[in-house]
Structure 1
Amino acid sequence: MSVYTPLSHNQLATVLDGYGFRLLDFRAASHGIENSTFLIEAEDSHQQPAPLVLTVFETLDHNALTPYLALLGHLAKQALPVPAPLQNHDGHDQITVAGKPAVLMPRLPGEHDFAVDLDRCRQVGALLARLHQCDTAPLQTLPDERQRLERLATHLHQLPDEHREGATALLSDWQARPTGTTLIHGDLFRDNLLWQQGRISALLDFYNACLDYPEYDLAVTLNDWCVDSNGKPVAEREQALLESYREFGGQVDDSLLLEALAVAALRFWLSRLAGPVSAQSEGQGSKDPEEFARIFQWRIAALAG
């Protein structure tokens, strides 16, 4: 995670005191690009180890953050490997740190591991199937991915001439579809999972979650997990992930998935073009737009037949 809002030891110690923890050590997380995240070693009031994560939100305000936190609590109660926000002594699951909204959560076990094999693809497919079958009735209204796509469409002019017309038509056709009603993660890249002894131990970063088609969520995931370094789809990985997804109760419209794969590739190409590295950030910064330019070329060619 790129850190846009550096915090001192004293600042973090004060934050943790409001929850009854004592700060021992911390470091900035190194994955992701949207918020400032700190991995914290602490002790609870019984002097027991308490690994924590503090996220400071760089774009969401307190009101926008509320439905996401309710979602995390809802999913944690359904035994998904999702961290639920902690409440401070005042009963709040949101606080303000350095003038920005912030949330403290338990740090679930496991580590980032970016290796990909067929077994991991099968685990990801099974996890998505579980998520997509979650009851959405208790949820608060989440932001609409179609609104994000509408904003990103203002960057279509940045695409190369040979792709601009086709990308514009593709996005227009997708936006004309009615919105789906399935809960989706919307950002299940490899840096949003933790692993422990070869098994998924945590699913992170639900701040792109919304209601839409499960095929769109699958497309976002397949475009990260199931392509090679040139953006070319790896059929064996795709097959493993989708077979597991179906085995655990997920349903897939193959023609809709084909279109969603191109739309999802375009979405992240545009978002990377729209998000240059901040001069104030410490760490990873924005990712390379050309990665998704290559994936888009494969996906749009497959869609064209």
Structure 2
Amino acid sequence: MSVYTPLSHRQLAAVLDGYGFRLRDYRAASHGIENSTFLIEAEDRHQQPAPLVLTVFETLTHAALAPYLVLLAHLAEQGLPVPAPLTDHGGQDQITVAGKPAVLMPRLPGEHDFAVDLDRCRQVGALLAQLHQCATGTLQTLPGERQRLETLASHLDQLPDDHREGAKALLSDWQARPTGTTLIHGDLFRDNLLWQQGRISALLDFYNACLDYPEYDLAVTLNDWCVDRNGKPVAEREQALLEGYRESSGQVDDSLLLEALAVAALRFWLSRLAGPVSEHSEGQGSKDPEEFARIFQWRIAALAG
């Protein structure tokens, strides 16, 4: 991910010492746009290699971060390929680094790989189905996607004239729906998965997770995995992802999915308009809003019939 809070070798070594690790090497991760993330090579107290990830949160407070850490531990216990937070010598699962909340986690095996084929789409669909079936009774309250959408609505005036009114109406209709009750990831883009030997090895970045409709989560995912460079949906990929989802006991309301695809495209168009590239970051910064402008055009046209 982009680094907004640079840390020195000495600072990172001090952080790891609080967990019983010794720093060997580190580098800033290059994917993502919201937080500062460091990939760390360390040794444990038995001098065994310990690959780790330190994330410094740029906007979340300690209190706001807590429900997500409970979620990660919960999902890891249920067998999903999710990294659970480590605890320091004081038993804390979050610390303060450079005045900001931070979390240390084990680095799961695998690498980012942005290739897309039908088998990978099926795997992604199956993983989403597994996530959507997780129990939520023991979780702490998570911020809702509807709250994020309400905040992003303030940027609707940045849209071109020919899309502004339609986007407002779409968002209003969606917000009027009762909120769904399924646990969703909310951000399953290709940079939030790791792969090892062609199989998913890790699902990352749950800081948009919430309770809502599974169709919305599918829509976010389909809009990244199953479109071409012009934002046009690729039918074969969509079919593969949805087949993987249904084969793993996921259920889909097709009409709701059609609307969710347009809403999800609008959501990420607006969020990219709201988050310009930081001049103070090291890494990729925010992504191009026009990518989702193109996707939105295809999705809103399909919804209009």
TM-score of the alignment, normalized to the shorter chain, above 0.5 = yes
Q: What letter corresponds to residue 34 of structure 1 in structure 2?
A: E
* CA–CA separation in structure 2 for the residues paired with 1:112 and 1:247: 25
Shift of residue 215, structure 1, vs aligned partner: 0.1
Shift of residue 155, structure 1, vs aligned partner: 0.1
SS in 1 for 2:146: helix
Q: In the alignment, what sits opposite 1:28?
A: 28
SS in 2 for 1:51: strand
Runs of 4 or more above 3 Å deviation: none
Shift of residue 278, structure 1, vs aligned partner: 1.0
Shift of residue 30, structure 1, vs aligned partner: 0.2
* CA–CA separation in structure 1 for the residues paired with 2:114 and 2:282: 21
* CA–CA separation in structure 2 for the residues paired with 1:51 and 1:238: 35
1:37-116 → structure 2 map (5 Å cutoff):
37-116=37-116
* CA–CA separation in structure 1 for the residues paired with 2:288 and 2:278: 14
1:185-204 → structure 2 map (5 Å cutoff):
185-204=185-204
Deviations 1:231-286 (A, max 9, x none): 00000000000011001010000000000000000000000000011111011000
Identity %, equivalent residues:
90
Q: In the alignment, what sits opposite 1:300?
A: 300
**TM-score relative to the length of structure 1:** 1.00
Q: In the alignment, what sits opposite 1:12?
A: 12
* CA–CA separation in structure 2 for the residues paired with 1:114 and 1:226: 12
* CA–CA separation in structure 1 for the residues paired with 2:197 and 2:276: 36
Q: In the alignment, what sits opposite 1:219?
A: 219
Shift of residue 300, structure 1, vs aligned partner: 0.1
SS in 2 for 1:50: strand
* CA–CA separation in structure 1 for the residues paired with 2:302 and 2:110: 37
Q: In the alignment, what sits opposite 2:205?
A: 205
* CA–CA separation in structure 1 for the residues paired with 2:248 and 2:129: 6
* CA–CA separation in structure 1 for the residues paired with 2:280 and 2:121: 36
Deviations 1:135-154 (A, max 9, x none): 01011000010000000000
**Is 1:247 matched up with 2:243?**
no
Shift of residue 178, structure 1, vs aligned partner: 0.2
SS in 2 for 1:13: helix
* Unpaired segments ≥5 residues, structure 2: none
1:145-184 → structure 2 map (5 Å cutoff):
145-184=145-184
Q: What letter corresponds to residue 236 of structure 1 in structure 2?
A: E
Q: What letter corresponds to residue 303 of structure 1 in structure 2?
A: L
**TM-score relative to the length of structure 2:** 1.00
Deviations 1:88-144 (A, max 9, x none): 000000000000000000000000000000000000000000000000101100001
Q: What letter corresponds to residue 257 of structure 1 in structure 2?
A: L
* CA–CA separation in structure 1 for the residues paired with 2:152 and 2:19: 38
- Superposition RMSD on alpha carbons, in Å? 0.2
Q: What letter corresponds to residue 162 of structure 2 in structure 1?
A: E
* CA–CA separation in structure 1 for the residues paired with 2:50 and 2:141: 32
SS in 1 for 2:50: coil
SS in 1 for 2:114: coil
SS in 2 for 1:11: helix
* CA–CA separation in structure 2 for the residues paired with 1:112 and 1:244: 21
Aligned residues: 305
* Unpaired segments ≥5 residues, structure 1: none
Shift of residue 8, structure 1, vs aligned partner: 0.2
Q: What letter corresponds to residue 172 of structure 1 in structure 2?
A: S
* CA–CA separation in structure 1 for the residues paired with 2:97 and 2:284: 22
* CA–CA separation in structure 2 for the residues paired with 1:81 and 1:270: 30
Deviations 1:6-62 (A, max 9, x none): 000000000000000000000000000000000000000000000000000000000
